[in-house]
Structure 1
Amino acid sequence: MSDAYCPRLRAAASMAAEGAGVPLRRGVFAYVGGPTFETPAEVRLLKVLGADAVAMSSVPEVTVARHVGISCLGFSMISNICLETHHPEILHGDELSGEKPPMAEHLDVLKNVQEYAVPNLKKVLRQLFTAQLQGEVVGARRNGEAATSAK
Protein backbone atom coordinates (compact mmCIF):
# COMPACT_ATOMS: atom_id res chain seq x y z
CA MET A 1 0.00 0.00 0.00
CA SER A 2 1.59 3.26 -1.10
CA ASP A 3 -0.83 5.73 0.47
CA ALA A 4 -1.39 4.27 3.93
CA TYR A 5 -0.85 7.53 5.79
CA CYS A 6 -2.67 10.67 4.67
CA PRO A 7 -0.25 13.26 3.19
CA ARG A 8 -2.30 16.14 4.65
CA LEU A 9 -2.22 14.64 8.15
CA ARG A 10 1.49 13.83 7.82
CA ALA A 11 2.28 17.42 6.83
CA ALA A 12 0.17 18.79 9.70
CA ALA A 13 1.81 16.42 12.20
CA SER A 14 5.25 17.37 10.90
CA MET A 15 4.53 21.08 11.42
CA ALA A 16 3.03 20.37 14.84
CA ALA A 17 6.09 18.39 15.93
CA GLU A 18 8.38 21.16 14.73
CA GLY A 19 6.28 23.73 16.61
CA ALA A 20 6.40 21.58 19.74
CA GLY A 21 10.15 21.04 19.45
CA VAL A 22 9.78 17.26 19.14
CA PRO A 23 11.98 15.52 16.55
CA LEU A 24 10.17 13.19 14.15
CA ARG A 25 11.89 10.65 11.97
CA ARG A 26 10.42 9.36 8.73
CA GLY A 27 11.10 6.10 7.01
CA VAL A 28 9.83 2.89 5.49
CA PHE A 29 7.57 0.95 7.85
CA ALA A 30 7.54 -2.83 7.42
CA TYR A 31 5.20 -5.42 8.91
CA VAL A 32 5.82 -8.88 10.34
CA GLY A 33 3.27 -11.14 11.98
CA GLY A 34 4.80 -11.31 15.45
CA PRO A 35 4.31 -11.62 18.37
CA THR A 36 8.08 -12.11 18.52
CA PHE A 37 11.05 -9.97 17.60
CA GLU A 38 12.45 -10.45 14.12
CA THR A 39 15.00 -13.17 13.53
CA PRO A 40 18.49 -12.16 12.33
CA ALA A 41 17.57 -13.41 8.84
CA GLU A 42 14.38 -11.32 8.83
CA VAL A 43 16.36 -8.25 9.91
CA ARG A 44 18.78 -8.73 7.01
CA LEU A 45 15.92 -9.25 4.53
CA LEU A 46 13.98 -6.22 5.75
CA LYS A 47 17.13 -4.09 5.56
CA VAL A 48 17.67 -5.19 1.93
CA LEU A 49 14.04 -4.27 1.22
CA GLY A 50 14.63 -0.78 2.64
CA ALA A 51 12.76 -1.01 5.92
CA ASP A 52 13.67 1.51 8.61
CA ALA A 53 11.22 0.28 11.25
CA VAL A 54 9.18 -2.88 11.77
CA ALA A 55 5.89 -3.42 13.57
CA MET A 56 3.50 -6.27 14.09
CA SER A 57 0.22 -4.58 14.95
CA SER A 58 -0.43 -1.20 13.35
CA VAL A 59 -0.20 -2.24 9.70
CA PRO A 60 -3.31 -4.50 9.66
CA GLU A 61 -5.38 -1.81 11.40
CA VAL A 62 -4.25 0.88 8.96
CA THR A 63 -4.91 -1.43 6.01
CA VAL A 64 -8.51 -1.99 7.12
CA ALA A 65 -9.03 1.70 7.91
CA ARG A 66 -7.78 2.78 4.47
CA HIS A 67 -9.92 0.08 2.83
CA VAL A 68 -13.05 1.74 4.26
CA GLY A 69 -11.84 5.27 3.44
CA ILE A 70 -10.55 6.46 6.82
CA SER A 71 -7.59 8.86 6.69
CA CYS A 72 -4.75 7.63 8.90
CA LEU A 73 -1.75 9.02 10.71
CA GLY A 74 0.65 6.92 12.75
CA PHE A 75 3.16 7.63 15.49
CA SER A 76 5.51 4.89 16.63
CA MET A 77 8.06 4.54 19.39
CA ILE A 78 10.93 2.25 18.48
CA SER A 79 11.40 -0.11 21.42
CA ASN A 80 14.18 -2.40 20.21
CA ILE A 81 17.19 -1.73 18.02
CA CYS A 82 18.18 -3.42 14.79
CA LEU A 83 20.96 -5.81 15.73
CA GLU A 84 22.40 -5.62 12.21
CA THR A 85 23.28 -1.96 12.79
CA HIS A 86 24.21 -1.95 16.46
CA HIS A 87 25.59 -5.47 17.08
CA PRO A 88 26.72 -6.94 13.73
CA GLU A 89 28.96 -9.50 15.45
CA ILE A 90 25.85 -11.27 16.72
CA LEU A 91 24.36 -11.58 13.25
CA HIS A 92 27.53 -12.47 11.38
CA GLY A 93 28.85 -15.65 12.90
CA ASP A 94 27.92 -15.56 16.56
CA GLU A 95 24.23 -16.35 16.20
CA LEU A 96 25.01 -20.03 16.54
CA SER A 97 27.29 -19.55 19.55
CA GLY A 98 24.34 -19.38 21.92
CA GLU A 99 25.01 -15.73 22.71
CA LYS A 100 21.76 -13.95 23.46
CA PRO A 101 21.29 -10.69 21.57
CA PRO A 102 20.71 -7.56 23.66
CA MET A 103 17.08 -6.50 23.63
CA ALA A 104 14.81 -4.17 25.48
CA GLU A 105 13.36 -5.39 28.73
CA HIS A 106 9.62 -4.82 29.13
CA LEU A 107 10.07 -2.50 32.12
CA ASP A 108 12.66 -0.44 30.22
CA VAL A 109 10.21 0.02 27.35
CA LEU A 110 7.44 1.07 29.73
CA LYS A 111 9.78 3.53 31.46
CA ASN A 112 10.74 5.09 28.12
CA VAL A 113 7.11 5.33 27.08
CA GLN A 114 6.23 7.09 30.32
CA GLU A 115 9.25 9.42 30.38
CA TYR A 116 9.66 10.22 26.71
CA ALA A 117 6.94 9.03 24.36
CA VAL A 118 3.85 10.12 26.30
CA PRO A 119 5.01 13.69 27.11
CA ASN A 120 6.29 14.27 23.56
CA LEU A 121 3.21 12.79 21.92
CA LYS A 122 1.03 15.03 24.10
CA LYS A 123 3.03 18.08 22.96
CA VAL A 124 2.67 17.15 19.29
CA LEU A 125 -1.05 16.36 19.56
CA ARG A 126 -1.75 19.55 21.51
CA GLN A 127 0.07 21.57 18.84
CA LEU A 128 -1.71 19.67 16.05
CA PHE A 129 -5.19 20.14 17.51
CA THR A 130 -4.55 23.80 18.30
CA ALA A 131 -3.41 24.41 14.73
CA GLN A 132 -6.43 22.55 13.35
CA LEU A 133 -8.85 24.56 15.49
CA GLN A 134 -7.20 27.83 14.49
CA GLY A 135 -7.34 26.75 10.86
CA GLU A 136 -11.08 26.08 11.11
CA VAL A 137 -11.69 29.49 12.66
CA VAL A 138 -9.54 31.25 10.05
CA GLY A 139 -11.28 29.30 7.28
CA ALA A 140 -14.72 30.26 8.64
CA ARG A 141 -13.75 33.93 8.74
CA ARG A 142 -12.54 33.80 5.15
CA ASN A 143 -15.91 32.46 4.07
CA GLY A 144 -17.71 35.32 5.78
CA GLU A 145 -19.11 33.12 8.54
CA ALA A 146 -19.11 34.15 12.17
CA ALA A 147 -16.20 32.65 14.07
CA THR A 148 -17.13 30.65 17.11
CA SER A 149 -14.91 29.55 19.94
CA ALA A 150 -14.34 25.83 20.35
CA LYS A 151 -14.06 24.19 23.75
Structure 2
Amino acid sequence: MPPPTHDQTYNTEDVSIAVFTAAANYLRARLPSELNSPKVAIICGSGLGQLADTIENKVEFAYEDIPGFVSSTVPGHLGKLAFGLIGDKRIPTVFMVGRFHFYEGHTLKQITFPVRVFKMLGVEILIVTGATGALSREFKVGMIGVTTDHISLPGLAGNNPLFGPNVSAFGPRFPPMSNAYDYDLRVIAFKAADYLRFPTGTLKEAIYTFVGGPSFETRAEARYLSLIGGDLVGMSTVPEVIVARHCGIKVLGLTLVSNMVAIGKGKCADPAEQDLNGIEEPLVNHEEVLQTGKERALDMQKLVKTIIDLIPST
Protein backbone atom coordinates (compact mmCIF):
# COMPACT_ATOMS: atom_id res chain seq x y z
CA MET A 1 0.00 0.00 0.00
CA PRO A 2 1.46 3.42 -0.92
CA PRO A 3 2.08 5.86 1.94
CA PRO A 4 -0.67 8.39 2.60
CA THR A 5 -0.18 11.85 1.12
CA HIS A 6 0.72 14.74 3.39
CA ASP A 7 -2.77 16.18 2.97
CA GLN A 8 -4.17 13.06 4.64
CA THR A 9 -1.71 12.92 7.51
CA TYR A 10 -0.91 16.48 8.47
CA ASN A 11 -3.24 19.22 9.60
CA THR A 12 -1.39 22.51 10.03
CA GLU A 13 -3.26 23.03 13.32
CA ASP A 14 -2.37 19.56 14.61
CA VAL A 15 0.82 19.67 16.66
CA SER A 16 0.25 16.45 18.59
CA ILE A 17 3.23 14.17 19.04
CA ALA A 18 1.48 11.51 16.93
CA VAL A 19 2.05 13.29 13.60
CA PHE A 20 5.79 13.45 14.17
CA THR A 21 5.91 9.87 15.42
CA ALA A 22 4.21 8.66 12.23
CA ALA A 23 6.89 10.27 10.04
CA ALA A 24 9.77 9.03 12.20
CA ASN A 25 8.37 5.48 12.24
CA TYR A 26 7.89 5.52 8.47
CA LEU A 27 11.55 6.41 7.93
CA ARG A 28 13.01 4.15 10.62
CA ALA A 29 11.15 1.13 9.26
CA ARG A 30 12.77 1.63 5.84
CA LEU A 31 16.32 2.37 6.97
CA PRO A 32 19.12 -0.10 7.73
CA SER A 33 20.13 -0.22 11.39
CA GLU A 34 23.32 1.76 10.81
CA LEU A 35 21.29 4.74 9.53
CA ASN A 36 18.06 4.74 11.53
CA SER A 37 19.44 6.82 14.42
CA PRO A 38 21.34 9.70 12.76
CA LYS A 39 23.29 11.98 15.10
CA VAL A 40 23.66 14.89 12.68
CA ALA A 41 21.13 16.56 10.38
CA ILE A 42 22.15 18.94 7.61
CA ILE A 43 19.73 21.27 5.83
CA CYS A 44 21.02 22.13 2.36
CA GLY A 45 20.02 25.55 1.05
CA SER A 46 19.92 27.09 -2.44
CA GLY A 47 22.48 25.52 -4.75
CA LEU A 48 24.04 23.49 -1.93
CA GLY A 49 22.27 20.17 -2.44
CA GLN A 50 25.55 18.66 -3.67
CA LEU A 51 26.55 18.34 -0.01
CA ALA A 52 24.68 15.03 0.03
CA ASP A 53 26.42 13.61 -3.04
CA THR A 54 29.47 12.15 -1.28
CA ILE A 55 27.87 10.24 1.60
CA GLU A 56 28.24 6.47 1.81
CA ASN A 57 25.46 3.87 1.95
CA LYS A 58 22.95 6.49 0.83
CA VAL A 59 19.21 5.87 1.21
CA GLU A 60 16.83 8.52 -0.16
CA PHE A 61 13.17 9.42 0.37
CA ALA A 62 11.17 11.88 -1.71
CA TYR A 63 9.40 14.41 0.47
CA GLU A 64 6.00 13.57 -0.98
CA ASP A 65 6.38 9.97 0.22
CA ILE A 66 6.98 10.88 3.87
CA PRO A 67 3.90 11.36 6.07
CA GLY A 68 3.59 14.99 7.13
CA PHE A 69 6.12 16.41 4.67
CA VAL A 70 5.19 19.00 2.06
CA SER A 71 7.03 19.53 -1.23
CA SER A 72 9.70 22.08 -2.11
CA THR A 73 8.94 24.18 -5.20
CA VAL A 74 12.09 26.29 -5.45
CA PRO A 75 14.70 25.82 -8.23
CA GLY A 76 17.88 24.36 -6.73
CA HIS A 77 15.95 22.46 -4.04
CA LEU A 78 15.53 18.81 -5.08
CA GLY A 79 13.08 17.80 -2.37
CA LYS A 80 14.33 14.64 -0.66
CA LEU A 81 15.83 13.27 2.54
CA ALA A 82 19.15 11.48 2.10
CA PHE A 83 20.51 9.25 4.87
CA GLY A 84 24.11 8.05 4.85
CA LEU A 85 27.51 7.93 6.51
CA ILE A 86 29.73 10.99 6.26
CA GLY A 87 33.37 11.75 6.93
CA ASP A 88 36.27 9.64 8.12
CA LYS A 89 34.30 8.74 11.26
CA ARG A 90 31.36 7.53 9.13
CA ILE A 91 28.84 9.44 11.23
CA PRO A 92 25.19 8.53 10.47
CA THR A 93 23.67 11.70 9.03
CA VAL A 94 20.43 12.85 7.44
CA PHE A 95 20.49 15.50 4.71
CA MET A 96 17.48 17.64 3.88
CA VAL A 97 18.19 18.24 0.19
CA GLY A 98 16.06 21.30 -0.39
CA ARG A 99 14.11 23.07 2.33
CA PHE A 100 10.65 24.57 2.63
CA HIS A 101 10.10 28.34 2.67
CA PHE A 102 7.50 30.66 4.14
CA TYR A 103 7.11 32.39 0.77
CA GLU A 104 6.04 29.14 -0.91
CA GLY A 105 2.81 29.37 1.06
CA HIS A 106 3.74 26.77 3.66
CA THR A 107 2.96 27.44 7.30
CA LEU A 108 5.85 27.73 9.71
CA LYS A 109 4.73 24.45 11.29
CA GLN A 110 5.06 22.73 7.91
CA ILE A 111 8.46 24.34 7.27
CA THR A 112 9.85 23.10 10.57
CA PHE A 113 8.09 19.72 10.64
CA PRO A 114 11.25 17.83 9.55
CA VAL A 115 13.31 19.23 12.45
CA ARG A 116 11.03 17.66 15.03
CA VAL A 117 11.12 14.39 13.09
CA PHE A 118 14.93 14.59 13.21
CA LYS A 119 14.73 14.96 16.98
CA MET A 120 12.59 11.83 17.22
CA LEU A 121 15.15 9.94 15.13
CA GLY A 122 17.92 10.87 17.58
CA VAL A 123 19.57 13.89 15.96
CA GLU A 124 21.74 15.88 18.37
CA ILE A 125 23.34 18.45 16.03
CA LEU A 126 21.73 20.43 13.20
CA ILE A 127 23.89 22.16 10.59
CA VAL A 128 21.87 24.66 8.59
CA THR A 129 23.34 25.91 5.31
CA GLY A 130 22.00 28.39 2.82
CA ALA A 131 22.73 31.34 0.60
CA THR A 132 22.46 34.96 1.70
CA GLY A 133 22.99 38.48 0.51
CA ALA A 134 25.57 40.67 2.21
CA LEU A 135 24.31 43.81 3.94
CA SER A 136 27.67 44.49 5.59
CA ARG A 137 30.50 45.52 3.27
CA GLU A 138 32.84 43.47 5.46
CA PHE A 139 31.51 40.48 3.52
CA LYS A 140 32.21 39.61 -0.12
CA VAL A 141 30.65 37.13 -2.53
CA GLY A 142 32.03 33.65 -1.87
CA MET A 143 32.69 34.17 1.84
CA ILE A 144 31.02 31.89 4.37
CA GLY A 145 29.15 33.43 7.26
CA VAL A 146 29.21 31.56 10.57
CA THR A 147 26.00 32.62 12.26
CA THR A 148 26.30 33.95 15.80
CA ASP A 149 22.79 35.37 16.17
CA HIS A 150 19.72 36.23 14.14
CA ILE A 151 17.04 38.86 13.71
CA SER A 152 13.65 37.49 12.68
CA LEU A 153 11.49 40.16 11.08
CA PRO A 154 8.54 37.76 10.63
CA GLY A 155 9.01 36.55 14.18
CA LEU A 156 8.88 40.04 15.62
CA ALA A 157 5.64 40.53 13.67
CA GLY A 158 4.05 37.43 15.19
CA ASN A 159 5.11 34.71 12.74
CA ASN A 160 7.00 32.30 14.99
CA PRO A 161 7.05 28.52 14.36
CA LEU A 162 6.28 27.94 18.06
CA PHE A 163 3.06 30.00 17.90
CA GLY A 164 0.04 28.06 19.14
CA PRO A 165 -0.16 25.15 21.58
CA ASN A 166 3.22 24.10 22.94
CA VAL A 167 4.36 20.53 22.31
CA SER A 168 5.81 19.98 25.78
CA ALA A 169 7.31 16.63 24.76
CA PHE A 170 9.83 18.63 22.73
CA GLY A 171 10.50 21.66 24.89
CA PRO A 172 9.23 24.48 27.14
CA ARG A 173 6.66 27.13 26.32
CA PHE A 174 9.22 29.96 26.40
CA PRO A 175 12.58 28.68 25.13
CA PRO A 176 15.56 31.06 25.25
CA MET A 177 17.20 32.00 21.95
CA SER A 178 20.17 33.95 23.30
CA ASN A 179 22.32 30.85 22.77
CA ALA A 180 20.73 29.68 19.53
CA TYR A 181 24.04 29.10 17.70
CA ASP A 182 26.38 26.82 19.60
CA TYR A 183 29.74 28.37 20.52
CA ASP A 184 31.71 25.11 20.51
CA LEU A 185 30.46 24.23 17.03
CA ARG A 186 31.46 27.69 15.77
CA VAL A 187 34.95 27.17 17.16
CA ILE A 188 35.11 23.83 15.33
CA ALA A 189 34.01 25.51 12.07
CA PHE A 190 36.98 27.88 12.18
CA LYS A 191 39.33 25.02 13.09
CA ALA A 192 38.02 23.09 10.09
CA ALA A 193 38.66 26.05 7.77
CA ASP A 194 42.20 26.33 9.12
CA TYR A 195 42.77 22.60 8.69
CA LEU A 196 41.63 22.89 5.06
CA ARG A 197 43.93 25.89 4.57
CA PHE A 198 41.12 28.15 3.45
CA PRO A 199 42.41 31.71 2.89
CA THR A 200 42.22 33.88 5.98
CA GLY A 201 38.86 35.64 6.07
CA THR A 202 36.95 32.97 4.13
CA LEU A 203 34.84 32.40 7.23
CA LYS A 204 33.49 35.32 9.25
CA GLU A 205 30.96 35.45 12.07
CA ALA A 206 27.69 37.12 11.15
CA ILE A 207 24.23 38.10 12.31
CA TYR A 208 21.61 36.57 10.00
CA THR A 209 18.52 38.64 9.22
CA PHE A 210 15.45 36.60 8.29
CA VAL A 211 12.87 38.11 5.93
CA GLY A 212 9.81 36.51 4.39
CA GLY A 213 10.54 36.99 0.68
CA PRO A 214 10.10 36.07 -2.10
CA SER A 215 10.92 39.54 -3.41
CA PHE A 216 14.43 40.72 -2.70
CA GLU A 217 14.82 43.75 -0.44
CA THR A 218 14.42 47.33 -1.56
CA ARG A 219 17.36 49.64 -0.96
CA ALA A 220 15.54 51.32 1.92
CA GLU A 221 14.72 47.96 3.49
CA ALA A 222 18.35 46.86 3.13
CA ARG A 223 19.57 50.03 4.85
CA TYR A 224 17.08 49.41 7.66
CA LEU A 225 18.23 45.81 8.11
CA SER A 226 21.83 46.98 8.24
CA LEU A 227 20.93 49.73 10.71
CA ILE A 228 19.34 47.28 13.16
CA GLY A 229 22.43 45.07 13.15
CA GLY A 230 22.10 42.60 10.30
CA ASP A 231 25.22 41.45 8.45
CA LEU A 232 23.53 39.04 6.04
CA VAL A 233 19.95 38.62 4.86
CA GLY A 234 18.07 35.53 3.76
CA MET A 235 14.63 33.95 3.44
CA SER A 236 15.10 30.76 5.47
CA THR A 237 17.06 29.10 8.30
CA VAL A 238 15.66 30.93 11.33
CA PRO A 239 12.37 28.97 11.70
CA GLU A 240 14.28 25.67 11.65
CA VAL A 241 16.81 27.02 14.18
CA ILE A 242 14.07 28.13 16.59
CA VAL A 243 12.41 24.71 16.53
CA ALA A 244 15.74 22.90 16.81
CA ARG A 245 16.63 24.85 19.93
CA HIS A 246 13.15 24.25 21.34
CA CYS A 247 13.92 20.53 20.90
CA GLY A 248 17.33 20.80 22.55
CA ILE A 249 19.27 20.22 19.32
CA LYS A 250 22.58 22.09 19.03
CA VAL A 251 22.84 24.32 15.93
CA LEU A 252 25.62 25.46 13.62
CA GLY A 253 24.68 27.96 10.91
CA LEU A 254 26.80 28.28 7.75
CA THR A 255 25.70 30.64 5.02
CA LEU A 256 27.33 31.24 1.66
CA VAL A 257 27.41 34.89 0.58
CA SER A 258 25.97 34.72 -2.92
CA ASN A 259 25.46 38.40 -3.71
CA MET A 260 25.93 41.94 -2.45
CA VAL A 261 22.66 43.57 -1.48
CA ALA A 262 21.92 46.93 -3.13
CA ILE A 263 22.01 49.30 -0.19
CA GLY A 264 22.77 52.76 -1.68
CA LYS A 265 20.11 55.34 -2.51
CA GLY A 266 20.60 54.99 -6.26
CA LYS A 267 19.86 57.58 -8.93
CA CYS A 268 17.98 60.76 -8.07
CA ALA A 269 15.55 62.30 -10.59
CA ASP A 270 15.39 65.68 -8.85
CA PRO A 271 17.69 68.16 -10.70
CA ALA A 272 18.22 70.02 -7.45
CA GLU A 273 19.72 66.90 -5.93
CA GLN A 274 22.02 65.85 -8.78
CA ASP A 275 25.11 66.10 -6.63
CA LEU A 276 23.60 63.50 -4.30
CA ASN A 277 23.18 60.82 -6.96
CA GLY A 278 24.30 57.44 -5.68
CA ILE A 279 25.93 54.55 -7.45
CA GLU A 280 23.60 52.36 -9.50
CA GLU A 281 24.08 48.89 -8.02
CA PRO A 282 23.35 45.70 -9.98
CA LEU A 283 20.08 43.87 -9.35
CA VAL A 284 20.25 40.45 -7.69
CA ASN A 285 18.56 37.38 -9.18
CA HIS A 286 18.10 33.77 -8.08
CA GLU A 287 20.29 32.45 -10.91
CA GLU A 288 23.22 34.38 -9.42
CA VAL A 289 22.52 32.74 -6.06
CA LEU A 290 22.53 29.26 -7.60
CA GLN A 291 25.68 29.93 -9.62
CA THR A 292 27.63 31.05 -6.56
CA GLY A 293 26.47 27.93 -4.72
CA LYS A 294 27.64 25.77 -7.61
CA GLU A 295 31.06 27.44 -7.69
CA ARG A 296 31.65 27.00 -3.95
CA ALA A 297 30.00 23.59 -3.61
CA LEU A 298 33.25 21.68 -3.22
CA ASP A 299 34.55 23.99 -0.51
CA MET A 300 31.27 23.70 1.39
CA GLN A 301 31.37 19.91 1.11
CA LYS A 302 34.92 19.79 2.46
CA LEU A 303 34.10 22.22 5.26
CA VAL A 304 31.02 20.36 6.49
CA LYS A 305 32.70 16.95 6.34
CA THR A 306 35.73 18.26 8.25
CA ILE A 307 33.53 19.91 10.87
CA ILE A 308 31.73 16.62 11.48
CA ASP A 309 35.06 14.77 11.78
CA LEU A 310 36.26 17.34 14.35
CA ILE A 311 33.17 17.08 16.57
CA PRO A 312 34.19 15.11 19.68
CA SER A 313 32.56 11.71 20.02
CA THR A 314 30.09 11.39 22.86
TM-score by length of 1: 0.72
Match of 1:82, as an amino acid?
V
Q: Could you say if the C-alpha distance between residues 82 and 5 of structure 1 is closer, same or farther in structure 2, counting changes exceeding 3 Å?
A: same
Aligned residues: 125
Residue-by-residue CA offset, 1:88-125 (whole Å, 9 max, x unaligned): 251x746xxxxx85223333322221121x11111112
Q: Given the alignment of the two structures, is residue 6 of structure 1 paired with residue 209 of structure 2, yes or no?
A: no
CA distance in 1, matches of 2:235, 2:288: 19
Shift of 1:16: 0.6
Shift of 1:80: 2.6
Q: Given the alignment of the two structures, is residue 76 of structure 1 paired with residue 252 of structure 2, yes or no?
A: no
Shift of 1:26: 1.1
Contact 1:79 1:104 in 2 (8 A): no
Match of 2:292, as an amino acid?
N
- In the other structure, the counterpart of 1:47 is 226
- In the other structure, the counterpart of 1:62 is 241
Bigger proportion of residues as strand = 2
Contact 1:4 1:72 in 2 (8 A): yes
- SS of match in other structure, 1:80: strand
CA distance in 2, matches of 1:36, 1:56: 10
Residue-by-residue CA offset, 1:44-91 (whole Å, 9 max, x unaligned): 11111111101111011101111111111111112231212xxx251x
- SS of match in other structure, 1:102: coil
Match of 2:211, as an amino acid?
V
Q: Considering only aligned residues, what root-mean-square deviation do their CA atoms show, in Å?
A: 2.2
Q: Could you say if the C-alpha distance between residues 24 and 57 of structure 1 is closer, same or farther in structure 2, counting changes exceeding 3 Å?
A: same
Contact 2:259 2:288 in 1 (8 A): no
- In the other structure, the counterpart of 2:52 is none
The correspondence of residues 1-151 of structure 1 with structure 2, limited to 5 A, is 1-22=177-198, 23-84=202-263, 88-90=264-266, 93=268, 102-116=282-296, 118-132=297-311, 135-136=312-313
Contact 1:31 1:56 in 2 (8 A): yes
CA distance in 2, matches of 1:51, 1:17: 24
Moved more, 6-15 or 35-44: 35-44
- SS of match in other structure, 2:209: strand
CA distance in 1, matches of 2:234, 2:212: 8
Q: Where has structure 1 moved over 4 Å in runs of 4 or more? A: none
CA distance in 1, matches of 2:196, 2:229: 29
- In the other structure, the counterpart of 2:54 is none
- In the other structure, the counterpart of 1:143 is none
Q: Which runs of 5+ in 2 are unaligned?
A: 1-176, 270-279
Bigger proportion of residues as helix = 1
CA distance in 1, matches of 2:240, 2:310: 27
- SS of match in other structure, 1:57: coil
